[in-house]
Amino acid sequence: MSDAEIVKDYTQNFEAWIHDFSEWQTRIGFDPSWLGDYRFDIKFDWDTAGSQIEFGDFVGKPKWDRRMQIPQQTIRDAIINMVSVQGDTEFASVEQQNHLLASAPTEYDRKSALRIMCEEQRHGWQMAYLLCTFFGEQGIREAAKLLERNAQEGTRILGSFNEPIDHWLDFFMFTHFIDRDGKYQLKMLSTSSFKPLAASMGPMLKEESFHLGTGANGLRRIVKQGVIPCDLIQKYVNKWVSTGLDLFGTDDSASAQWAYVYGVKGRYDEREAQEDADREHLNEASRELYFQELRDEMRRISKVRKDGEPELYIPSDKFERGIGRFAGKRYTVHGEEFEGDDESWEDYLSSVLPSDEDEDQLVNEYMQQEWIQYREWKGD
């Protein structure tokens, strides 16, 4: 990646937002002293952003640098929505996770989680900066909402970011599955027709790789340690995969199609793809790439399990879906249509998803032992 430009001077609108951000940190219980010398820099990688629109109906024309260059209000609204949703996820994850710092299993894990939370806040700053700087009063209003919604109150935009993260197994599941979805979303925006948005993605993707790497390494260390049984770990995999798949949105999505037409949001592999996009099934294509990556990653994680432990796997993309053509339908973790009454279905779910008893045993029995492979922090 080329060197990123760091913005030195902020607009008055963004300075006012920073004041509100400080109040948000206090409100959610994030102590700014935890940041040390970390700075929430606004970073742009203009070189990787590209100069011409790369797909859609405006392909070949110069990318838009300012709001007034964007030819239609509907396109401006689409960009504002994309930026707002991305920013919302960044602040939500800090609200979900910051309470875990006091119970980290090792100093390595505490420092890793803190780094993730610092970078998530920086990413949120980046999105708020775009809204406040480029989109006038409408952008200022949307930037304010980033700090008004709250994951602990269930008011964040996307479902995964309202889910409680109760303990460190949830944390590693979240960073492995949900932050991996984040990688996909950022890469799809990295070719955006709005150049400041595209230029924001390079630095964010570089930082995001640490987040999902923390999740994968954490799960590998847990499985290798062998204290928490794989059949219990599997229940948490089942819990988090379905919500990760839902983050890709509805099937046959008109909004995804229009975002592609406008050049606002591309495919995950937009610059590498050899075939024309199937504009009617954009979400499905990205979701399938994500799903295959999950399966490959889980095979690698499962290889370190102790002898006699069952192999870990990714459940069917039909299981427990809340969005798409399988939403609300009853399928097993293996993708078979469930046959049985409501009571039988509830019994089945309790056998494949974490129960209250599972949670109690996890926290009060397994996590009272050396449940994760030790790793030493070698930083400052």
Q: Is residue 378, in this structure, part of any structural domain at all?
A: no
Per the structure, the complete domain to which residue 82 belongs is given by 5-270+277-368
pTM over 0.75: yes
State the helix-helix crossing angle for 12-28 and 107-134, rounded to 10 degrees: 150
CA distances from 197 to 2, 186, 315, 316 (A): 16, 10, 34, 34
Q: Is residue 337, in this structure, part of any structural domain at all?
A: yes
Single-letter code of the amino acid located at 38: Y
| Residues belonging to the chain | 380
Q: Give tens-digit pLDDT for 138-192.
A: 999 999 999 999 999 999 999 999 999 999 999 999 999 999 999 999 999 999 9
Backbone angles phi, psi at 296, to 5 degrees: -65, -45
Q: Identify the band that residue 311 occupies on the pLDDT scale cut at 50, 70 and 90.
A: very high
pLDDT at 286 over 60: yes
- Cβ-based neighbour number of residue 58 at 10 Å: 20
Q: Is residue 240, in this structure, part of any structural domain at all?
A: yes
Q: Give tens-digit pLDDT for 236-247.
A: 999 999 999 999
Residues 228, 361: contact at Cβ < 8 Å?
no
Mean pLDDT for all residues in the chain: 96
- Tell me the sheet residues that pair with 331: 337
Q: Is residue 377, in this structure, part of any structural domain at all?
A: no
pLDDT of amino acid 378: 78
Q: Is residue 71, in this structure, part of any structural domain at all?
A: yes
pLDDT of amino acid 1: 44
- Name every residue whose Cβ is closer than 8 Å to that of residue 121 and which is 6 or more positions away in sequence: 40, 90, 91, 94
Q: Give tens-digit pLDDT for 85-119.
A: 999 999 999 999 999 999 999 999 999 999 999 99
Q: Is residue 375, in this structure, part of any structural domain at all?
A: no
Q: Is residue 374, in this structure, part of any structural domain at all?
A: no
pLDDT of amino acid 379: 67
Single-letter code of the amino acid located at 147: L
- Cβ-based neighbour number of residue 174 at 10 Å: 23
pLDDT (mean) for 262-291:
96
What are the tokens at 151?
């994951």
Q: Give tens-digit pLDDT for 27-62.
A: 999 999 999 999 999 999 999 999 999 999 999 999
Q: Is residue 339, in this structure, part of any structural domain at all?
A: yes
- Cβ-based neighbour number of residue 230 at 10 Å: 18
pLDDT (mean) for 205-219:
96
d(CA 167, CA 132): 35
Q: What's the CATH number where 108 sits?
A: 1.10.620.20
Domain count for the chain, please give it: 1
pLDDT at 332 over 90: yes
Q: Identify the band that residue 2 occupies on the pLDDT scale cut at 50, 70 and 90.
A: low
